[in-house]
Structure formats: structure tokens, C-alpha cells
Amino acid sequence: MPLFEIDGLVFGYPGRPAILQGTGLTLEAGQRLSIAGANGSGKSTLLHLMVGLLQPQAGCIHAFGQVRRAEADFHEVRRRAGLVFQDPDDQLFCPTVAEDVAFGPLNLGLGREAAMETVETVLTRLDLMHLKDRITHRLSGGEKRLVSLAAVLAMEPEVLLLDEPTNALDEENAERLVAILQGLPQALLLVTHDAEMRARIAPEGLRLQSGRLVPA
């Protein structure tokens, strides 16, 4: 059973022409797919539709074995599919890094102590323990991006949806992120303009062009 099976998606922002015009996509368990495409072609929009942050005007989103239509259908999707937003400020909203990373596990019903254990495990794995007690909004752009990934991984999603994950990262941290992503067991959908990163993490590539996904 595919994790996501999307067919015939049509979407345009209110008062604007449709940017997705019959987009289809299948993501299988363990599969790593990349999506390239021009600025403004609708890549971020597609990821937002996949987790129910936007509603399509037509088409079908089948996720984790069920058709998802209403907002309530997407609660489970957002728990099982972790979206790392293009802008970390859309992801992080707690006063400290520890609280931001603990937010997901606490929301899933973990007790405070268990959630804090998860925070330490994930931050240690990403080599970010030095940021644990920092004020989130005072972090650098690159630090925020890594903490965003930590916050998503803390929820142990079955699939990661990554929107330009190396934006704002210096070379060393971009390299570290690539190594981390290569080592993760999850299925992954990677949106990036970085051709080298696509080749190293998700060589099976698609391109969003004229509102449809085509082989890259």
C-alpha cells in the first residue's frame, strides 16, 4: 500500500489561476523522491495540500490507506507525515528549543518526562544539544532550520516532506543535514533546487511543470 497516492489535483489560490492542474504522485513506503521545478511552480503548495493545510478544488489525496477530504481526515496524516516547512518561523513557535521539540511528542500524549527524553535523544542525534535551552527566535536561520527538523523527527513520522531543507545552511551544516537524511529510515519527499542534494538523497526525481509532475 503506498503512503500517498495523489491523483488529478487541481489547486489555485483564491482569485488566481490554478497552479496545480491535474497533479499526480505515488509515494511508496521507503521510497525517496525528489521534486524540482521553477520558482512559483507550486512545489510548496503541493506539500501543503498533502497534509491538508490547503484544500484542493479537485482531485483525490489517498494517504496511509484512506481517502482524505475533510480537515479531520488530515489530523492522522499530519501525525504520520512530518512536513519541514520552507520557513522555520512557520514551524517553531515556542519560547525555547526544548519546548519546540517537545511540543509534538507532548501533543501525541507523551508525559513530560518521556517527551524530554525524546528531546534529548533527537537533539543528540542531530548534534544540537548545545541549542537545547536557547530562545528559539534568537537562533540563526540555519540553527532554526536544524531545530525544525529535530521538531519533526521527534514525532517519529513515517514519511518526511522536506521543503528546501538546506536553505540558509552553511556548507558544513548542509553536509551534516545530507548525512542525517541519508541515514534516516523513513520514506522521503524532497523539494529542492539543489541538484547535487537531489542526487545524493533522492535520486528518483520528478519535476513540477505546468501544474503536473513529470519525470525529471
**By the criterion CB under 6 A, which residues form the site for ligand ATP?**
13, 16, 19, 37, 39-45
Task: State the nearest-atom distance from the C-beta of 171 to ligand ATP, in Å.
Answer: 21
Q: Is the Cβ of residue 12 or residue 106 nearer to ligand ATP in the bound state?
A: 12
Tell me how far apart the alpha carbons of residues 78 and 85 are, in angstroms, rounded to a whole number: 13
**Cβ closer to ligand ATP: 42 or 104?**
42
Three-class DSSP category at 58 = strand
CB 191 within 8 A of CB 47: yes
For the chain, the straight-line distance linking the first and the last C-alpha, in angstroms and rounded, comes to 24
What is d(CA 35, CA 42) in angstroms, rounded to the nearest whole number?
11
Nearest residue to 102 (alpha-carbon basis) of 150, 59, 39, 38: 150
Task: Output the smallest distance, CB 120 to ligand ATP, in A.
Answer: 33
* Smallest distance, ligand ATP to C-beta of residue 14, A: 7
Query: How many residues in the chain?
Result: 216
- Minimal distance in Å, beta carbon 56 to ligand ATP? 13
Residue with smaller CB distance to ligand ATP, 23 or 136: 23
Residue 209's H or E segment, with its range, is strand 204-209
